[in-house]
C-alpha cells in the first residue's frame, strides 16, 4: 500500500491539492485528475480476490483423521480442536462437512456439551444423502441425538454472556446517553469539546470501581494474528466450538448467532484479500461494510454536506446511540491540524480502498461507472482514515500465565470504534479504567470522585508514572494532535521511581490491602473479593488526600496497578500454563 501511495503522490499537483478545503473536495480533486485515474486503473487492486483462505477437502480430511486418533485415545479436548479445523476447512454442503460435524458431535457428547452436540447432529443430518452408507450414519446420529436429548436436562446452560448481563442488570443508564450509567453525562465546552463528567446528586463520593460506561463498538476488527483463534464478530477467544463462514476459512465464530450477525458485512469482505490493509484501514472498511450502501445512499445528501465542511443535520431525537453511524462520522478528524502531505497520503489510500471495494465487490454496483458515487464513498473513507487513529481503541485480551503470573499482560487482539467511549478526553493521570468483555468495553472509576460535574478522563496510552513528559507530549501531539495540559504535565510529576514511598503525603495503612497485594506479587491468582479490598483502599487514600492535584506515593500506584490486574483477570482473559 505504502509504495503505491508514494508513487501516486508524485503524480498529483500538491499545491493545487493543498487548496482543497474539505474531505469531499480532496477526493473530488484526485478522482477528476486523469493521470491519477489511469494510475489507479493500472495498479494492482489493494483488495484483490483472496486465494489463501479457501476451503480444502484434503485439509479437512487430514484434520478429521487426526481428530479420530485423539478420539480413539479418549483425548476429547484434543479431538475437538482437530474436528473444529475439519469443520473450518470442509467445503459448504459437502459430505466432508457432514462427517466433520458428526464426529465433532460425538466428542461434544463425551464432553457433556449436549446442546452443542445437538446442533452439530442436526446440521450433519441435513447434509446426508440417501445411499446405504449414509443410512447407517443417519441411524448412528439419530441414536446420539436421542441420548443428547435425554441428558440435556442435567446440563448447565452456557455462561458466556451471563457476566455482561449481570453487570448491566445492576446499573441504571443515562437516558440521553444510554451507554453511560446515571453516574455520568456529557458536557460541551470550547476548550474541552464534548467530554464526560460525573453526575452525582448524593453527598457521598463515587467510589473506585463505580461503572461509568458499558458499550458495544459500532464496528470492531480482529488483527490478523487473532484470525485463527478469536471470533470475528464478538472478538471472544473461541474456547469450544468453532463456526466457520461457508465460503472461506478466514472468518470463524464462537456461535451461530455471531456467524449470522456477520453475514451483512462479511459477504463483501469474504472474497477479498485484506492483507494489504493495516488495523485502521481494516476498521475503516468494516465501518462501511457494516453500515451498508443502502443507509449511506439514503443519507447521501446530508453526509455529503457534512464532508463538504458543513454541520450534520441533527435528527429530532436527542438520544446518542452507540449504533448510529452519524455519531461515528461526526468524530473529530483533526483535518485542520494535519499537514498537506498527511492529507494527500490519506486521500490516496481512501481512493485505493474505495475503488477496490467498488470494483471487486457488490457493495455498490451503481458506483462502478458513477463518479459521483465514487467520490462520495472515497470521501467517507478519507474521513474515517483521519478520525480512527485519534478515536478508535485497541481491544486487548489479558493473558494470565499460571506458572509465572507476574509476566501476565494485556495482548492486543483487535480494534474498535465506540461512539461514547470516544468522547472521553485524556489525562496522564486518568480517573477511569477500561476493560473488555469480548469487544464490549466497560469503563470504571479508578479513583473516588468527590464532586458533581468533575471531568472523567481516560488514558490514551501515556501514563505519567511510566513515561517521561517529553515522550507523552510527543506521542499525544503526533497521534492525537493536542498538547496535553493535565496536572502531571503542567507540574512535571515525577516518574514512578522518584515518587515518595508509602501512599503519599499521609500514610494510610490497611492490613487487608497489604495481604491481598502480597498474595498477588507472590503469584497467587486473585480472588473476586480482592477487587473490593483494592477499591476500599484507593477510596481511603483519595479521601485522606482528596485533591486531584496531589502526588500520591508508590504504594498508591501499586494499589492502582494491582486493581487493574485484578479487573483484567476477571474480564476478557485467557489462563495459560506457560
Ligand atoms: Zn462471537
Ligand atoms: Zn468468508
Ligand atoms: Zn498530560
CATH number at residue 565: 2.170.270.10
- Same domain for 281 and 319? yes
- Same domain for 131 and 251? no
- Flag whether pLDDT at 501 surpasses 80: yes
- Flag whether pLDDT at 316 surpasses 80: no
- Same domain for 32 and 179? no
Distance 250 CA to ligand 1 centre (A): 14
Ligand nearest to the CA of 161: 1
- Same domain for 253 and 389? yes
Question: Domain ends where: 152, 174, 200?
Answer: 152
pLDDT class of 159 with cuts at 50, 70, 90: low
- Same domain for 495 and 505? yes
Could you tell me which residues come within 8 angstroms of residue 14 by beta carbon, excluding any fewer than 6 positions away? 340, 341, 344
CATH code for the domain in which residue 98 is found: 1.25.40.10
In angstroms, the CA 289 to CA 28 distance is 22
> Which pLDDT belongs to residue 535?
95
| Per-range mean pLDDT, top range of 84-93, 495-504, 567-576 | 84-93
- Retrieve residue 175's grid coordinates: 437516558
Q: What angle do CA 233, 234, 240 make, to 5 degrees?
A: 100
Distance 276 CA to ligand 2 centre (A): 17
- Flag whether pLDDT at 160 surpasses 80: no
Q: Strand runs (DSSP E) across 92-191, as ranges? A: 184-189
| Domain assignment present for 157 | no
| Domain assignment present for 374 | yes
- Retrieve residue 245's grid coordinates: 463462514
| Domain assignment present for 174 | yes
Residues, the chain, total?
578
> Which pLDDT belongs to residue 317?
67
- Same domain for 212 and 222? no
Q: What tens digit of pLDDT does each residue of 3-43 get?
A: 888 888 889 999 999 999 999 999 999 999 999 999 988 88
Mean pLDDT score of the chain, rounded to an integer? 91
Q: What tens digit of pLDDT does each residue of 46-69 get?
A: 787 777 889 999 999 999 999 999
Question: Among 51-55, 146-150, 212-216, 537-541, whose mean pLDDT is lowest?
Answer: 51-55
Ligand nearest to the CA of 460: 3
Query: Helix crossing, 340-360 with 371-391: angle to 10°?
Result: 120
Which contiguous run of DSSP H or E holds residue 569? helix 554-570
Question: Domain ends where: 96, 118, 152?
Answer: 152
| Domain assignment present for 347 | yes
> Which pLDDT belongs to residue 427?
93
Ligand nearest to the CA of 258: 1
> Which pLDDT belongs to residue 201?
81
Contact 275, 248 (CB under 8 A): no
- Retrieve residue 496's grid coordinates: 514512578
> Which pLDDT belongs to residue 178?
97
pLDDT class of 544 with cuts at 50, 70, 90: confident
In angstroms, the CA 427 to CA 430 distance is 5
- Same domain for 375 and 243? yes
- Flag whether pLDDT at 326 surpasses 90: yes
Give percent above pLDDT 90 in the chain. 71
In angstroms, the CA 445 to CA 16 distance is 49
In angstroms, the CA 46 to CA 388 distance is 20
Helix/strand/coil for 164? helix
Distance 255 CA to ligand 1 centre (A): 6
Contact 390, 318 (CB under 8 A): no
> Which pLDDT belongs to residue 132?
82
| Domain assignment present for 399 | no
- For residue 346, which of 32, 42, 13, 30 has the smallest C-alpha distance? 30
Cell 482528596, residue?
Answer: 546
Q: What tens digit of pLDDT does each residue of 224-244 get?
A: 999 999 999 999 999 889 999
Query: Looking only at Cα atoms, what is the longest distance across the chain?
Result: 83
Distance 264 CA to ligand 2 centre (A): 11
Contact 216, 208 (CB under 8 A): no
Number of domain units in the chain: 3
- Retrieve residue 340's grid coordinates: 498537506
Residue-number span of the structural domain to which 125 is assigned: 57-152
Tell me the whole-structure pTM to 2 decimals: 0.92
Distance 559 CA to ligand 3 centre (A): 21
Q: What angle do CA 356, 358, 360 make, to 5 degrees?
A: 60
Question: Among 14-18, 118-122, 544-548, whose mean pLDDT is lowest?
Answer: 544-548
- Flag whether pLDDT at 131 surpasses 90: no
> Which pLDDT belongs to residue 30?
96
| Domain assignment present for 558 | yes
- Same domain for 208 and 80? no
- Retrieve residue 494's grid coordinates: 515525577
Query: Helix crossing, 279-291 with 340-360: angle to 10°?
Result: 50
Question: Domain ends where: 329, 358, 393?
Answer: 393
The strand pair at 184-189 and 393-401 is best described as: unpaired
DSSP 49: B
- Flag whether pLDDT at 450 surpasses 90: no
pLDDT class of 416 with cuts at 50, 70, 90: very high
Mean pLDDT of the region 260-286 = 93
- Same domain for 368 and 272? yes
- Same domain for 253 and 122? no
pLDDT class of 401 with cuts at 50, 70, 90: confident
Q: How many CA atoms lie within 13 A of 383 on its CB side?
A: 28
- Same domain for 148 and 116? yes
Could you tell me which residues come within 8 angstroms of residue 63 by beta carbon, excluding any fewer than 6 positions away? 82, 83, 85, 86, 89, 100
Neighbours of ion ligand 1 (CB under 5 A): 231, 233-234, 254, 258
- Flag whether pLDDT at 291 surpasses 80: yes
> Which pLDDT belongs to residue 547?
60
- For residue 552, which of 494, 512, 509 has the smallest C-alpha distance? 494
| Domain assignment present for 359 | yes
- Same domain for 425 and 505? yes
- Flag whether pLDDT at 549 surpasses 70: no
Contact 410, 396 (CB under 8 A): yes
Distance 426 CA to ligand 3 centre (A): 8
| Domain assignment present for 168 | yes
Amino acid at each position: 500500500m505504502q509504495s503505491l501511495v508514494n508513487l501516486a503522490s508524485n503524480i498529483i499537483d500538491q499545491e493545487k491539492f493543498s487548496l482543497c478545503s474539505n474531505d469531499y473536495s480532496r477526493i473530488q480533486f484526485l478522482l477528476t485528475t486523469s493521470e491519477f485515474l489511469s494510475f489507479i486503473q493500472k495498479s494492482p487492486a489493494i483488495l484483490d480476490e483472496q486465494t489463501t483462505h479457501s476451503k480444502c477437502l484434503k485439509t479437512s480430511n487430514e484434520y478429521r483423521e487426526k481428530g479420530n486418533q485423539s478420539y480413539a485415545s479418549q483425548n476429547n479436548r484434543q479431538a475437538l480442536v482437530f474436528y473444529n479445523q475439519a469443520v473450518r476447512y470442509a467445503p459448504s454442503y459437502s459430505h466432508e462437512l457432514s462427517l466433520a460435524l458428526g464426529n465433532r458431535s460425538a466428542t461434544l457428547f463425551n464432553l457433556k456439551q449436549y446442546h452443542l452436540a445437538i446442533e452439530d447432529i442436526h446440521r450433519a443430518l441435513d447434509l446426508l444423502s440417501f445411499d446405504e452408507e449414509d443410512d447407517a450414519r443417519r441411524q448412528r446420529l439419530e441414536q446420539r441425538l436421542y441420548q443428547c436429548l435425554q441428558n440435556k436436562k442435567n446440563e448447565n446452560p452456557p455462561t458466556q454472556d451471563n457476566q455482561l448481563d449481570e453487570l448491566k442488570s445492576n446499573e441504571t443508564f443515562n437516558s440521553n446517553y444510554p451507554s453511560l450509567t446515571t453516574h455520568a453525562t456529557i458536557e460541551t465546552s470550547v476548550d474541552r469539546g464534548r467530554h464526560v463528567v460525573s453526575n452525582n446528586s448524593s453527598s457521598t463520593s463515587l467510589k473506585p470501581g463505580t461503572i461509568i460506561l458499558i458499550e458495544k463498538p459500532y464496528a470492531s476488527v480482529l488483527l490478523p494474528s487473532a484470525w485463527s483463534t478469536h471470533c470475528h464478530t464478538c472478538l471472544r477467544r473461541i474456547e469450544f466450538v468453532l463456526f466457520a463462514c461457508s465460503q472461506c476459512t478466514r472468518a470463524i465464530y464462537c456461535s451461530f448467532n455471531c456467524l449470522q450477525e456477520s453475514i451483512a458485512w462479511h459477504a463483501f469482505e469474504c472474497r477479498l484479500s485484506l492483507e494489504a490493509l493495516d488495523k485502521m484501514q481494516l476498521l475503516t472498511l468494516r465501518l462501511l461494510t457494516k453500515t451498508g450502501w443502502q443507509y449511506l445512499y439514503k443519507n447521501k445528501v446530508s453526509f455529503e454536506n457534512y464532508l463538504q465542511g458543513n454541520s450534520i443535520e441533527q435528527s429530532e431525537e436527542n438520544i446518542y446511540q452507540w449504533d448510529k453511524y452519524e455519531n461515528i462520522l461526526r468524530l473529530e478528524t483533526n483535518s485542520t491540524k494535519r499537514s498537506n502531505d498527511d492529507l494527500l497520503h490519506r486521500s490516496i489510500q481512501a481512493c485505493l480502498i474505495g475503488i477496490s471495494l467498488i470494483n471487486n465487490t457488490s457493495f455498490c454496483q451503481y458506483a462502478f461507472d458513477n463518479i459521483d458515487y465514487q467520490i462520495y464513498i472515497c470521501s467517507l473513507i478519507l474521513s474515517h482514515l483521519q478520525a480512527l487513529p485519534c478515536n478508535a481503541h485497541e481491544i486487548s485480551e489479558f493473558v494470565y500465565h499460571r506458572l509465572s503470573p507476574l509476566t501476565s499482560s494485556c495482548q492486543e487482539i483487535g480494534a474498535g470504534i465506540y461512539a461514547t467511549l470516544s468522547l472521553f478526553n485524556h489525562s496522564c493521570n486518568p480517573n477511569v479504567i477500561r476493560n473488555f468483555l469480548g469487544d464490549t468495553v466497560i469503563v470504571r472509576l479508578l479513583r473516588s470522585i468527590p464532586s458533581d460535574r468533575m471531568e472523567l478522563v481516560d488514558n490514551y496510552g501515556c501514563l505519567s508514572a511510566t513515561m517521561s513528559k517529553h515522550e507523552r507530549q510527543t506521542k499525544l501531539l503526533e497521534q492525537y494532535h493536542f498538547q496535553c495540559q493535565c496536572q502531571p504535565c503542567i507540574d512535571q510529576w515525577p516518574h514512578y521511581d522518584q515518587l515518595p514511598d508509602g501512599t503519599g503525603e499521609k500514610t494510610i495503612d490497611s492490613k487487608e490491602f497489604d495481604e491481598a497485594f502480597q498474595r498477588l506479587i507472590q503469584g497467587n491468582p486473585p480472588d473476586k473479593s480482592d477487587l473490593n479490598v483494592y477499591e476500599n483502599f484507593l477510596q481511603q487514600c483519595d479521601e485522606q488526600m482528596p485533591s486531584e492535584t496531589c502526588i500520591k506515593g508508590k504504594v498508591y500506584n501499586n494499589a492502582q496497578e494491582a486493581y487493574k490486574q485484578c479487573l483484567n483477570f476477571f474480564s476478557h482473559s485467557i489462563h495459560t500454563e506457560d
